[in-house]
Chain A
């Protein structure tokens, strides 16, 4: 299978770069990142709040079938230039992981093709490696069966 999503993680650096090309016009790729009802559908968690504007904030949550909160994350949007750029923080609540800084760049490749470059800066090299080693930390926000499916594919 072709690897569509690419991750560059240079050893010993406290950052990663996630890149992905989409068969979508630039405006739709951007829209999928700023409209809460769309974000909910592909991120796999409930969006409690999403103010898509500079100095706006957002909060994600996932509950299990019994209503227990499995995951909560929040952040602040520092910069938002339509169809160009989003700069924001991301922090998982009630976990040992510190806040991270994310630079999202949206680029048009053709009328119906676009690219997302996500540059993520962590507090330290150790924090970065920990989060990369434990995708389920970020993945707790997914429904359990979905997570099982992903983890199951690794076996």
Chain B
């Protein structure tokens, strides 16, 4: 199984990215997570399943509730976890460069 590929596919979805962001600093139940989205609750559950399956989220039983929290170690384990961040800036700077080259010539 190509775990790296699975993880990046998991975060390619905007709702799943929003879920990870939401859980960045605190754990939440599925119900609370779903209340943050307009999406139907079963759809959010499906997203939670996928994120849990590729270990980006961990489940923790607290009394009768199941809390989801971010598995930061797993995200860090993904080979070269800085690369997407670098790419974001590289893309911006490429744009800056071509923008200002045109600016120079006008």
* CB atoms of B88 and A135 under 8 A apart: yes
Is A24's CB under 8 angstroms from B89's CB? no
Report if A7-B82 is in contact (Cβ < 8 Å); known contacts: A32-B96, A95-B21, A137-B21. yes
A134 and B20: CB pair below 8 A? Answer: yes
Is the pair A28, B100 in contact by a Cβ cutoff of 8 Å?
yes
Residues of A within 8 A of B84 (CB): 135-136, 150-151, 154
Task: Give bound CA distance, A72 to B72, whole Å.
Answer: 25
Q: Are B82 and A155 in contact (CB under 8 A)?
A: no
Q: Give chain B's interface residue range (CB within 8 Å of chain A).
A: 35 or more
In the assembled complex, the Cα of A53 lies from the Cα of B100 at a distance in Å of: 21
**Nearest CB of chain A from residue B11's CB, rounded to whole Å:** 7
Name which residue of chain B comes closest to A11, CB basis: B76
Verify if B37 is at the interface (C-beta below 8 Å from A): no
CA distance A67 to B93 in the complex (A): 27
Question: A5 — nearest CB in chain B belongs to which residue?
Answer: B90
Contacting chain B: which of A36-44, A55-63, A77-85?
A: A36-44
- How far apart are B103's CB and chain A's nearest CB, in angstroms? 6
Known A133-B81, A154-B84: A18·B103 in contact at CB below 8 Å: no
Alpha-carbon distance between A153 and B88 when the two chains are bound, in angstroms: 11
Query: Known contacts A151-B8, A152-B12: does B101 contact A132 (CB below 8 Å)?
Result: no
A43 touches B92 (CB 8 A): yes
Q: Knowing A4-B94, A9-B82, A133-B76 are in contact, say whether A139-B88 is a contact too (CB < 8 A).
A: yes
Q: Which residues on B are within 8 Å of A, measured CB to CB?
A: 5, 8-9, 11-12, 14, 17, 20-21, 24-26, 72, 75-76, 81-97, 99-101, 103-104
Chain A residues at the B interface, C-beta cutoff of 8 Å:
3-7, 9, 18, 20, 22-25, 28-29, 31-32, 38, 41-44, 95-97, 116, 126, 129-139, 142, 144, 147-148, 150-155
